[in-house]
Structure 1
Amino acid sequence: MTARAISPEPAKATDRRPAGFDRRLIAPMILGAVLNPINSSMIAVALIPIGAAFGAPPSRTAWLVSALYLATAVGQPVVGRLVDRYGPRRLYLVGTALTGIAGVLGTVAPSLGVLVAARVLLGIGTCAGYPAAMSLLRHESRRTGQDNPGGVLTALAISAQTVSAVGPTLGGLLIGLGGWHTIFAVNIPLSAACLILGALRMPRTAPTTPGGGLDLPGMTLFAGLLSAVLLLLMNPRAGYLWLLPVAVAAGAGLVVRELRTADPFLDLRVLGGNLPLIATYARNLLTFTVSYAWLYGYTQWLEEGRGLSASTAGLILLPLFLTAIAVSALTGRRRGVRGKLLVGAGTQLAACGLLLVVGPASGTWLLVVVAMLAGVPQGLLGLANQNALYHQADPARIGSSAGLLRTFTYLGAMVAAAASAATFGPGADTAGLHALALVMLTSAVLLLLVVLVDRSLRRIGTPTDSTAPA
């Protein structure tokens, strides 16, 4: 299926907002969208200190990663569909309020179990930011008659991708200042800023209420399917194989339900015919399998295998952040996505290969070079996949489509977490890092193959593409 064009709707004379894109929306959009990535990445340098504080091995602290991704992977498309139906403002305010509550709970958590619960609530609360931002872009496009005005989608992509890289550095500095509690406490002022900006600047929109109503059974079946799959990924052992028939049953029920209902949560007919969008979801899964295996695996190895402190490990990763910023800034406004995906996949392969030669005696210069090389795909791949989705998704379902893109992001993160747990075992040693690097190389090769066979990517950003970014 080809990308859908949007029928422009000129701004009404009574609309008090600017004739062009309302730039007052940029701050709440970006701040809300980065809440999840920054919490995903900051925790990487906190796993060892938290484990020491509660006497928990890596196999237990891994739940701090898995719990957030389980909640977010299930919640993103569900909340995205609610955004499509009830408007971005309502869901944005509720979600960011929950994020602040989770920050308070995590700051005062007396046990690892309470900390895991705080991460679950944090995952649910941060679900609204990204779908709301993508929905606002579509709303502004219809209002102004300009598709993707001012390159705002590029700014959104740059912020989301680069904050993932700066997270470990920020987390390391915060831990150095006030202990691991600070990476939860930082959500309190961030939530307050989102609530104030969202309440003051985001437009009120009337809910859309198609005759079919909200597809609660479809959402429930989707949540059951994804939860079973993710729990099995987190526990790939014989004792958890009972989750497999649960996943199959939930999946079969979801297909039957969505094909029969008038207003489905997931429009499988449209999705099944939109092969370019399905390919984008697959690329996102592979991209973030490597990205998060790198983030968690390399960071834990720097602390345990290389013997660095949390703050020093964060500083070692700073070149990754700087490189990602530079690459995104230089390429962000280029309309094509295929070139970005090819270069990103190629450099990802090289970076993963370089992991095979690092060890406990590796010099700091080599560790910095590895981080710099990893920053190139960090700045290219997520940006390209997000731009591709903007062109390929049904405009009426941009919230749920964007949420599903994030679901595949966190599926990749869960695969990465499972691979890290399997390869590191009781400790993050160099042999485990090299085994993890082989898993990452496999995913990187598959990513490159998916890019090469997808011919539809050539059309995005060409003069014939009616949804090309401004």
Structure 2
Amino acid sequence: MTATLERFGRRFRRPAQADGFDRRLIVPMIVSSVLNPVNSSILAVSLVPIGIAFGAPPAQTAWLVSALYLATAIGQPVVGRLIDLYGPRRLYLAGAALTGIAGLLGLLAPALWVLVPARVILGFGTCAGYPASMYLIRSESERTGRDSPATVLTALSIASQTVIVLGPTAGGLLVHLGGWRATFAVNIPLALACLALGTRRLPRTPPARRGSRSGLDAPGIALFTVTLVALLLFLMEPAVAHWYLPVLAVVALAALVVRELRTAEPFVDVRLLGGNLPLVATYVRGTLSALIAYCFLYGFTQWLEDGRGLSAATAGLVLLPMSLAGIGVAALTGRRKGIRGKLVVGAIAQIAAACLLLTVHTSTTVWVLVAAVCIMGIPQGLNNLAIQNAVYYQAEPDRMASSAGLLRTFVYLGAIGSAAAGGALLTRPAGTAALHHLSQFMLIAAVLFLVLTLADRSLGRVGRSEAAGRS
């Protein structure tokens, strides 16, 4: 994988120049940024072998997924804030080291309870890649006085989507060759590659850019963590018996707001967010986009297997065009900086896909199913790219990494929310009626996404004023 990325980066590489983006950064940015999505997708095929190896039921092995979600959702903005304060190099290398340690721990784990903390460490270790990349893109723009090439942001988006597509296939191959432990062990060479690339290519942060310990809002981080853990635990298993979790989340959130309004160096700058409603709207769109995408991915897949009677392998082949369409759309539109148009088209495609699912039944021709999958691939490519670019332009430059990390937190909220929706609306076996109920839920979320996009007039100005000021 690293060799392939080296060849990809060689096409763009040139020595750092005073007036040009240092393209030597592209390969280390991509390698580190894909660590999180590859570990999110590669585990899908190893859960059953892990359960068999340790005699653990699905309810226990599911914590391997939840552990990564929790650690990543919390860690992305925290690590992002540290990158804002201390620069990307230290956190990039520390994250790579943690990733390698997690891989080694998973390789040698004697019991399931060891794998759960290994996934937590892995979640924190893979947190640095995306915020560090966004920080580097912004800092290169400031260094050169020019807007960074759109192809760099596009490369990050395409790399993540490609890894998500290939993750389960690569995981199946690893399990076949070396057992489920190989899905953890693969992180060791990836971590070593990041350490080598980061040491050689990432710039050292000048002393003037480094923060101080006073800038690290530990109480704010603690309250943020309590809020998110309580909320995510409730979303993972919503039940009346767990009423105390949303109450705890609300109380912790209120305390967080009060704390952040009173401190000079807040972890979450509430005043800044309150004055930057376009960025808040982008975070909400990120949540809705992920909610719709994961509802489709998991809900439609369950229906293909339970309602349509397809095997897991055949269902995977039916879904493959969605990811390919997303990658193709992102590649074709990546050079265009317009954000509003991408989001509008993506929203319309989400609505069309949800409406099409409302018409399917057990005897629907396979070409209609493939058409729904292809249509859903359009927002996969457009929305992810547009939302990422919107954060790049809307966030304050000195909080670029933490703002990018917070975006990933909202995306994980959407992903976990889709799991809750699927659990409430899909019954086993997942019949056509259950799929239609989930499709109605997706349609409501897609319409809300479109209304939020059309109402946000600031999207038409995103990137233009900044690019004009640098030209």
TM-score computed with the length of structure 1 as normaliser: 0.88
- Kept in 1: contact 2:161–2:323 (CA 8 A): no
- Pairs aligned (count): 454
Name the CA distance, whole Å, in 2 between partners of 1:430 and 1:174: 34
In the alignment, which residue of structure 2 is the partner of 1:123?
A: 123
Pairwise CA distance, 1:390: 0.9
- Kept in 1: contact 2:154–2:334 (CA 8 A): yes
Name the CA distance, whole Å, in 2 between partners of 1:237 and 1:126: 31
Return closer, same or farther for 1:180/1:428 CA change in 2, 3 Å cut-off.
farther
Name the CA distance, whole Å, in 1 between partners of 2:148 and 2:470: 5
In the alignment, which residue of structure 1 is the partner of 2:158?
A: 158
**1:250-399 mapped onto 2 (5 Å cutoff):** 250-358=252-360, 364-399=366-401
| Amino acid corresponding to residue 267 of structure 1 in structure 2 | D
| Amino acid corresponding to residue 156 of structure 1 in structure 2 | L
Measured against aligned partners, the alpha-carbon deviations of 1:147-183 in whole angstroms (never above 9, x if no partner) come to: 2146312222222244334434444454555554443
**DSSP 3-state at the match of 2:290:** helix
Pairwise CA distance, 1:357: 4.3
For structure 1, list consecutive stretches of 5 or more residues without a partner in the other structure.
1-15
1:132 is aligned to 2:132: yes
1:18 is aligned to 2:13: no
Return closer, same or farther for 1:173/1:191 CA change in 2, 3 Å cut-off.
same
Pairwise CA distance, 1:58: 5.1
Measured against aligned partners, the alpha-carbon deviations of 1:81-108 in whole angstroms (never above 9, x if no partner) come to: 0000111011111112222222333345
Name the CA distance, whole Å, in 1 between partners of 2:439 and 2:107: 34
TM-score computed with the length of structure 2 as normaliser: 0.88
In the alignment, which residue of structure 2 is the partner of 1:5?
A: none
In the alignment, which residue of structure 2 is the partner of 1:240?
A: 242
In the alignment, which residue of structure 2 is the partner of 1:442?
A: 444
- Kept in 2: contact 1:45–1:314 (CA 8 A): no
- Kept in 2: contact 1:92–1:128 (CA 8 A): yes
Name the CA distance, whole Å, in 2 between partners of 1:434 and 1:361: 15
Name the CA distance, whole Å, in 1 between partners of 2:415 and 2:148: 29
Return closer, same or farther for 1:356/1:41 CA change in 2, 3 Å cut-off.
farther
Q: Which has the higher helix share?
A: 2
Name the CA distance, whole Å, in 2 between partners of 1:288 and 1:194: 28
- Kept in 1: contact 2:150–2:334 (CA 8 A): no
More RCO (CA 8 Å, sep 6+): 1
Name the CA distance, whole Å, in 2 between partners of 1:456 and 1:221: 31
Name the CA distance, whole Å, in 2 between partners of 1:64 and 1:468: 47
Pairwise CA distance, 1:185: 3.2
Measured against aligned partners, the alpha-carbon deviations of 1:228-285 in whole angstroms (never above 9, x if no partner) come to: 1111111211221112332222112211211111111111111111010010000000
Measured against aligned partners, the alpha-carbon deviations of 1:116-153 in whole angstroms (never above 9, x if no partner) come to: 33322221111111000011112211222222146312
For structure 2, list consecutive stretches of 5 or more residues without a partner in the other structure.
1-14
| Amino acid corresponding to residue 64 of structure 2 in structure 1 | L
Return closer, same or farther for 1:323/1:37 CA change in 2, 3 Å cut-off.
same
1:79 is aligned to 2:79: yes
**DSSP 3-state at the match of 1:317:** helix
Return closer, same or farther for 1:339/1:384 CA change in 2, 3 Å cut-off.
same
Q: CA RMSD in A?
A: 2.7
